[in-house]
Amino acid sequence: MLMRRFQRYVFLFVILLILVVGGWFSMSKPADSTKNISIVGCQMLNESILKAQIDSAFQGNEEHIAERIREFVEQNHIVDRVIVKEEHFNDIVVEIHERKPVATVTSASGKVLVDRLGKPISNEIRGAMKTLPKIVLSEEGNVSKKSSQRDTKLLATLLHELHTQHRQIYDVISEVVQYRSSSWMIYRCDFQHPIIVAPTKKNIHSLVNTLSLLQSSPHGDESETDIEYIDLRFENQVIYGKNQESVVNSPRRS
């Protein structure tokens, strides 16, 4: 009987000792101890500059730091999504998913980079405007107008699908120029003539497929010198236009 009681006291003492030591250890940790922050996933963003900004913003104030870092980094227009993980005792990993530009939109109000959803991105991405296809709005067009935003979203989606599925086509597109209402001319570096398209939510997939087919047989049974344009505005049809009037006053820019 005494032995059992003794064992019970020893067990309780050990439990109490563990709790006391654990509490002392947690309380003895300095409140302002420095976190080791690492960043992964940067391609367009400058990792060193971003880390310096985070260190400067949160030095000495680490309450709810993971959530606050996430909110801080998501303010950058290039960032699509941020995952912040607290690992081990003092390590924080910031995983960044960037919004990648697919085109430059040019209008009377200036130029802006857009992502696959047609949403503007920061123009601070060095060299991007020189290498991406240009979406050229009409003189009345403006990236802030609803109609222009709708068209820009459709064209950006089309370009993103081409970039994902047929990179060789995306890479040779130089400009997508507004032609008529909801109609656009695609200019390619390797084609002498424009391709007229009218993208909608329903026909993006078929447009991508047709543009892929044109890659292997761009002129069909026609002679290249006879073709003025290729018209893909009509479902399941490829029209090789020979009438100069159809493309007169084309707004193509150099």
Cα 20 to Cα 28: distance, rounded to the nearest angstrom: 12
Q: Where are the alpha helices (DSSP H) in 87-245?
A: 128-131, 146-165, 167-170, 204-216
Tell me the pLDDT tens digit for each residue of 85-121. 888 778 889 999 998 899 999 988 888 899 999 988 8
Tell me the pLDDT tens digit for each residue of 8-17. 666 666 677 6
Q: Which residue has the tokens 């399941």?
A: 236
211 C-beta neighbours (distance < 10 Å), count = 23
Q: Calculate helix-pair angle for 204-216, 146-165, nearest 10 degrees.
A: 50
Tell me the pLDDT tens digit for each residue of 5-59. 656 666 666 677 676 656 655 554 544 456 788 899 888 888 888 989 888 888 7
- CA distances from residue 245 to 138, 182, 218, 248 in whole angstroms, order as listed: 19, 19, 21, 5
Q: pLDDT band for position 129 (50/70/90)?
A: low
Q: Which residues of 214-241 are buried (b: 16+ CB within 10 A; e: fewer)?
A: beeebeeeeeeeebbbbbbbeeeeeebb
CB 152 within 8 A of CB 115: no
* pLDDT score at 153: 94
* pLDDT score at 43: 83
> Is the model's pLDDT at 4 over the cut of 50?
yes
* pLDDT score at 144: 61
- CA distances from residue 239 to 176, 201, 242 in whole angstroms, order as listed: 19, 21, 9
Mean pLDDT (the chain, rounded): 80
Tell me the pLDDT tens digit for each residue of 172-202. 999 999 988 789 999 999 888 899 999 999 9
Q: pLDDT band for position 236 (50/70/90)?
A: confident
Tell me the domains of the chain and their CATH numbers. 36-98 (3.10.20), 103-247 (3.40.50)
Distance of CA 250 to the CA centre of its chain: 31
Q: pLDDT band for position 233 (50/70/90)?
A: very high
The residues near 50 (Cβ < 8 Å, ≥ 6 apart) are 39, 42, 73, 76
H or E segment to which residue 120 belongs: strand 120-121
H helix count then E strand count, the chain: 7, 12
SS3 160: helix
